[in-house]
């Protein structure tokens, strides 16, 4: 039997590319997101035997519960959870930011990710088999102006991933945090800048950023490692992105 994976945020960007790659690797994939029509298009493209569209908003725990309960029996035994759903909103300084944006990021990047993980872990522990791959960010390690709550939420994901490994010691369940840097070909910046496509496009001009398929290939590589190998965390940047000196402001 094929292994079953569940990928959140599967309607576009990283999630869509991850679904496509996992299907090509031989997985059956539960593709979860809010936009059902996009999931249905993905199923039509990849096949009903390979993709199961699951509509849910991970910020709403009742929707998560109902969606998981609705899965047909042959799709319930999830071996691989890819917590891809996440977002950034705004790039304002903390003292100017919209607090409702902060709450949306917290509810998506932290609450939704942890709740879904908590719901699926017990069945993995019972079978003593499974893998959780979380999508973090370099922003969880490298601070920058305007990242405030977004960066903090991704730092949470990094530490949560490592602590899951500690809790799961003695089991065969593996946990990885993937930390991408600048990546184009997704809706990330369009969402962050609230539909300002011109501003989003300028961010990537000439940058030769990494692409969704690069992240999908990374997920595939991690999932394909032997059972005795755990990739704790992996940071990925385009060659064009690097590190700079710490600024010193003088008066």
Task: Kindly list the catalytic residues.
Answer: 150
As separate numbers, helices (DSSP H) first and strands (DSSP E) second, the chain gives 9, 7
Instruction: Please say whether the beta carbons of 109 and 150 come within 8 A.
Output: yes
SS3 (DSSP) at 47 = coil
Residue 4 CB-density burial (10 A; 0-12 exposed, 13-18 middle, 19+ buried): buried
Cross-sheet strand order for the sheet of 28-33: 51-55, 28-33, 4-8, 78-83, 130-135, 173-180, 233-236
Contacts of residue 181, defined as CB under 8 A and 6 or more positions apart, other chains included, come to: 137, 138, 209, 210, 235, 236, 237, 238, 241
SS3 (DSSP) at 148 = helix
Residue 110: DSSP 8-state:
I
């Amino acid at each position: 039997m094929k292994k079953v994976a569940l990928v959140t945020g599967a309607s576009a960007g990283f999630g869509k590319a991850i679904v496509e790659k996992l299907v090509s690797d031989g997985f059956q994939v539960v593709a979860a997101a809010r936009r059902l029509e996009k999931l249905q298009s993905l199923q039509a493209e990849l096949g009903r035997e390979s993709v199961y569209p699951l509509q849910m908003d991970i910020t709403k725990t009742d929707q998560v519960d109902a969606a998981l309960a609705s899965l047909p029996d042959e799709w319930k035994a999830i071996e691989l959870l890819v917590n891809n759903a996440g977002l950034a909103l705004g790039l304002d300084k903390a003292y100017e930011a919209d607090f409702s944006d902060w709450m949306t990021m917290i509810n998506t990047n932290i609450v939704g990710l942890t709740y879904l993980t908590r719901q699926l872990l017990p069945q993995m522990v019972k079978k003593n088999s499974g893998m959780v791959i979380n999508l973090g960010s370099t922003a969880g390690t490298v601070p920058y102006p305007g990242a405030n709550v977004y960066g903090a939420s991704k730092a949470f994901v990094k530490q949560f991933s490592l602590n899951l490994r500690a809790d799961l010691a003695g089991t065969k369940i593996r946990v990885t945090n993937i930390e991408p840097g600048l990546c184009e070909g997704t809706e990330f910046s369009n969402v962050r800048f609230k539909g300002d496509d011109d501003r989003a496009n300028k961010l990537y001009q000439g940058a030769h950023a990494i692409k969704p398929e690069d992240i999908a290939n990374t997920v595939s590589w991690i999932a394909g490692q032997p059972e005795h190998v755990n990739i704790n965390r992996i940071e990925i940047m385009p060659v064009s992105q690097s590190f700079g000196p710490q600024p010193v402001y003088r008066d």
